[in-house]
Amino acid sequence: MTRIVVLGAGTAGTIMANRLRRLYARDVSAGRTTITVVDQDDQHVYQPGLLFIPFGDSEPDEIVRPRRSQLHSDVALVQDLIDRVDAASNQVALSSGTVLRYDVLIVATGTRIAPEETEGMTGPGWRERVFDFFTLDGAVALRGALERFEGGRLVVNVVDMPIKCPVAPLEFAFLADAYFVKRGIRDRVEITYATPLDNAFTKPVAAQALAHLLEDKGITLVTEFNTGRVDGQGGILASWDEREVPFDLLVTIPLHAGAEYVSRSPGLGDDLGFVLTDPRTLQAAVAPNVFAIGDATNIPASKAGSVAHFESEILIENIRRFLAGEALAPDFDGHSNCFIETGHHKALLIDLNYDVEPLPGRFPFGLIGPMRLLRESRVNHLGKLAFRWVYWNVLLPGHDIPAVGPRMSLKGKELPPKPADRPTALAPH
């Protein structure tokens, strides 16, 4: 019998469990292969929806569904906390005392925010003047604070990289601008974006486009700001090098870490609890029969649902190969694809991988589009809204998305010209 254990029933874990069930359908129904998924609760949150909750454009009950209903009925779901993984003996210990033995383990427990790691962040003022929106509680609490906000200094801040959905804080700033315009009080609100990066984003061409958008919307950009402490009562965000940004309302993206049990599991993770993972094969460093996918890994790709989806197409093949005794395929290229809401019913779209940064162009069908890369358009915004249906009905059940393969395509992308004529790269068409 082959026992496959998947830790985490979020985006990556659910997709993998359903793909494995399909791949081994006959073995699973005959009981020769078991697929067991472990999660601590039964609430699957559609995470891209969290961004819209603070602005009242989405309701909590619209973005949460039971985890069990997203998994095929032949997949077992165990609701328990994970205590540790012992890769040397091929077993996972759960908090209740249950021990799960495995032949193949897939770690898909994502990432969590760790606001307590920043001095003062969860002290006085937490969830009164200092908020996150990466949790459902945080996003709901922030909605109330925004409704009560009648003017002053709003600061959006990223504590450290990596974070989940690296464009989300920028989207928040863009949507906040639109929200205050709509309420007729934009002239009474100062919006500041403070980031540890040296520009609005990591990759140069996109960073330039996004910095330009911030400027257009009157949002002040503060760069190389490494958050040292937060004073929620005094309304001060301070950096390690003694710079201060005053705020009336702080929306922060706290430090991200892997699930807590990763650090308790010998050899599994790095010092933030992200699983040491081969960026091409998705095999974990700790043992050949352990794999990792999604936000839980330490690979240098975006922590985003699209990445988990693209990885799943590579990982399902590598698990098949592993169980068949074949060599793994080093096929993951870091493909990531992401909508960026810019407010007023428009959005940008970016598509990138380990080697190719986000470029302007059209997607996914070359000249036809219909979506535009790295430029604001209404079609992109509609694409983002439609994606929620795609998420529950195509992505989680583990189906491929037509016309969008796991490996990034250069079709429709405008490659950067030689350095001499580079400035034209972003010129509007």
Partner 1 sequence: MSTAVIANYPIEVDAEGFLQKPEQWTEEIAVAIAREVGIDPLTTPHWQVIRFMRDRYLQTGQAPSIRTLGKESGVSTKELYQLFPKGPAKLAARIGGIPKPHGCI
Please report, as ranges, the residues that interact with partner 1 according to CB under 8 A.
117, 160-162, 166, 202-203, 224, 226, 228, 240-241, 255, 270-272, 276, 298, 300-302, 336, 352
Q: Are strands 33-39 and 76-79 parallel, antiparallel or unpaired?
A: parallel
CB of 340 to partner 1, least distance (A): 13
CB of 74 to partner 1, least distance (A): 36
CB of 23 to partner 1, least distance (A): 30
CB of 172 to partner 1, least distance (A): 18
Question: Cα–Cα distance between 282 and 299 in angstroms, integer?
Answer: 9
CB of 295 to partner 1, least distance (A): 12
Question: Cα–Cα distance between 236 and 230 in angstroms, integer?
Answer: 6
- The sign of the torsion formed by the CA atoms of 336, 367, 396, 53 equals positive
Nearer Cβ to partner 1, position 61 or 241? Answer: 241
Query: Which residue type occupies 229?
Result: R
Query: Which residue type occupies 357?
Result: E
Nearer Cβ to partner 1, position 54 or 110? Answer: 110
As a dihedral over the C-alpha atoms of residue 331, residue 336, residue 337, residue 343, rounded to 10 degrees, the angle is 180
CB of 230 to partner 1, least distance (A): 15
SS3 content of the chain, % helix, strand, coil (to 5): 30, 30, 40
Nearer Cβ to partner 1, position 158 or 173? Answer: 158
Nearer Cβ to partner 1, position 160 or 400? Answer: 160
Nearer Cβ to partner 1, position 35 or 293? Answer: 293
Nearer Cβ to partner 1, position 125 or 162? Answer: 162
Identify any residues that bridge with 105 across adjacent strands, giving them in sequence order: 5, 290
On the 0-12 / 13-18 / 19+ scale of CB atoms within 10 A, 287 is middle
Phi/psi of residue 400, nearest 5 degrees: -80, 155
Q: Which two tokens stand for residue 367?
A: 């000249």
